[in-house]
Structure 1
Amino acid sequence: MIILEKKVIKLFDINFDNLTMTEAINRIEDIIIVNKTNKQSSYVVTPNVDHIVNTFKDRKFKEIYDNANLVLVDGMPIVKVSKILGKDLKEKVSGSDLTPELFKLAQKNQYRVFIFGSKEGVADKAIQKIKKEYGYDFPIEGYSPPFGFEQNPVVLNDSIQKIVNYKPDILLVSLGSPKGEMFIYNHLNTLKVPISLQIGASIDFIAGTVKRAPIWMQKASLEWFYRFSQEPKRMFKRYFVNDSLFLKIVVDEYRLKKRGS
């Protein structure tokens, strides 16, 4: 077990854990080991621009972020802004990049993994793909609940029970944000999973049902534009209405820095 010193950078009123991908995986492994021993539960959040905006608009979402055990930056725009503001975040550790590394960790330690969410059949495609391409044999299952399951107490309880009965070490939730984070936070003590995280479209990327932006676009902070070009109707409000507030948040952060200098 590798115990890492906790290095936190406060930016946009969020306490980011300033870790590289390797350090993040080591931290997650430590959390799993401790929580399996003590029968405790923890969760990870991966804030991107949209999430940061929502922490300013939604008090419950901010509460979820404030209580997260690990906060990893998901988005090159945030990394670049952090450097301009003199609060240098090491690197982007997105859910999409983190998920394959978690599978490597699960294979190494034979952790039990449960994928909750995505469209019907997507998790199965992803599972078949990682087994075929990488020869992984760690225990892994998936379940896609029906749309609106969280509003039906019977279906919600049945969905939770599927996870509880499987007893995963890692829970990967693919319900979209903020629904995924809300699900984990609201049922953390019932689920009793050592580590849980909302992973966005990561499972779709692995399954091949959704294409991810080319590496050059990811590095150029244009991954959001690639997603928009794929689903313009669904993504327009998120990127051009909701996320426009991020500019104001950045300006306010800059003014706060100037007053403190």
Structure 2
Amino acid sequence: MPTEQQLLFGLYLEPLRMEEVIQRCHTALVTRSKLLLGVLNAAKVVNLRSDALLRDSLLECNMLLADGQSIVWASRLLGRPLPERIAGIDIFEQLLALAHREGRSIYLLGAQPDVLRMLETRLQVRFPGLKVAGRHDGYFKANESALIAAEIRASGADMLFLGMASPKKEIFLGSYGATLNVPILHGVGGSFDILAGITRRAPVMWQRAGMEWAYRLLQEPRRLWWRYLKTNTAFLLLTARELVHPARAFRPTRSITGGGTLAASRQNQ
């Protein structure tokens, strides 16, 4: 039965649980229909107001989910509740398991070459026989993007995972996502490093308490303390504003799917 989306911070989020997300992904695989997954956290809520590319990339998603526990808590405070946090890395792992069970193929795009090799080795241990249709590191130049997109399209992959940071991920998807002929597209950020064993994810207790950001802060205090202080403070202020004056739904600045106009302008900056 269709669920009613919740409008939060100007974006429509899906009030789904993990099993419902994976079921929709399975349907997309069976029907070979494109499903672009997006996740929202506090940092994105803050940054999308000044970053048109980030905002448009979120609006372009076929399914937008609450990646941060802070988004779930805010949804309940605002009277537009989401049932649970759906972390991007958890979706990644669930989809890998689905691909393994059903013999679906994946394409890995992102990270450094050595990290990518470590990731694939670990995935083959965890999911023996997992079909990897192709892979490419994330350190490529803008003028190489079209060739990589052609390689992904030719691979026949069922799922594309992008282990790249913003805005490179959004630029690539905005320019080529509609032409890749891959049903499931999911930007997983730093998840490649975690599953490759390079970095550690916060313990489950920290995750449930919504304190993954604090765990990362403890690992890199000098680099992250100011970013988290600024972002968390801004998010609290935006939540207070949302409580008094709910934001209207954002509209795309311009279409970025396929044409890549906005993406191309960002690449040339």
Q: How high is the TM-score relative to the length of structure 1?
A: 0.87
Contact 1:145 1:159 (C-alpha < 8 Å) held by counterparts: no
Instruction: Determine the structure 1 residue equivalent to 2:155.
Output: 166
Aligned residue among 64, 80, 83 for 1:90: 83
Structure 1 CA distance, aligned partners of 2:96 and 2:17?
A: 17
Deviation at 1:176, TM superposition (A): 1.1
Contact 1:41 1:188 (C-alpha < 8 Å) held by counterparts: no
Contact 1:115 1:142 (C-alpha < 8 Å) held by counterparts: yes
Instruction: Determine the structure 1 residue equivalent to 2:183.
Output: 194
When residues 193 and 80 of structure 1 are mapped into structure 2, their CA distance, relative to the original with a 3 A threshold, is: same
After superposition, the C-alpha distances for 1:167-224 in whole angstroms (9 at most, x for unaligned) are 2111000111232133212211232211211101112111110100011111111101
Contact 1:184 1:197 (C-alpha < 8 Å) held by counterparts: no
Does structure 1 residue 26 correspond to structure 2 residue 23? yes
Deviation at 1:116, TM superposition (A): 0.4
After superposition, the C-alpha distances for 1:56-112 in whole angstroms (9 at most, x for unaligned) are 111232222122100011011111111111111111111111111001111122111
Does structure 1 residue 216 correspond to structure 2 residue 205? yes
Letter in 2 for 1:20: R
Structure 1 CA distance, aligned partners of 2:201 and 2:61?
A: 27
Structure 1 CA distance, aligned partners of 2:225 and 2:42?
A: 14
Structure 1 CA distance, aligned partners of 2:160 and 2:244?
A: 39
When residues 66 and 11 of structure 1 are mapped into structure 2, their CA distance, relative to the original with a 3 A threshold, is: same
Instruction: Determine the structure 2 residue equivalent to 1:80.
Output: 73
Structure 1 CA distance, aligned partners of 2:227 and 2:152?
A: 30
Contact 1:110 1:139 (C-alpha < 8 Å) held by counterparts: no
Unaligned stretches of 5+ residues in structure 1: none
Task: Give the CA RMSD over aligned residues.
Answer: 1.9
Does structure 1 residue 9 correspond to structure 2 residue 9? no
Contact 1:50 1:238 (C-alpha < 8 Å) held by counterparts: no
3-state SS of paired residue (1:72): strand
Structure 1 CA distance, aligned partners of 2:20 and 2:218?
A: 33
When residues 181 and 235 of structure 1 are mapped into structure 2, their CA distance, relative to the original with a 3 A threshold, is: farther
When residues 234 and 170 of structure 1 are mapped into structure 2, their CA distance, relative to the original with a 3 A threshold, is: farther
Does structure 1 residue 207 correspond to structure 2 residue 196? yes
Aligned residue among 100, 117, 121 for 1:124: 117
Instruction: Determine the structure 1 residue equivalent to 2:241.
Output: 252
Letter in 2 for 1:156: S
Structure 2 CA distance, aligned partners of 1:198 and 1:236?
A: 25
Contact 2:53 2:167 (C-alpha < 8 Å) held by counterparts: no
After superposition, the C-alpha distances for 1:151-177 in whole angstroms (9 at most, x for unaligned) are xx1x22232222222121110001112
Q: How high is the TM-score relative to the length of structure 2?
A: 0.84
Structure 2 CA distance, aligned partners of 1:237 and 1:191?
A: 38
When residues 140 and 167 of structure 1 are mapped into structure 2, their CA distance, relative to the original with a 3 A threshold, is: closer
Query: Percent of aligned pairs with the same residue?
Result: 27
Contact 1:61 1:182 (C-alpha < 8 Å) held by counterparts: no
Instruction: Determine the structure 2 residue equivalent to 1:51.
Output: 44
Structure 2 CA distance, aligned partners of 1:173 and 1:185?
A: 13
Contact 1:79 1:91 (C-alpha < 8 Å) held by counterparts: yes
3-state SS of paired residue (2:213): helix
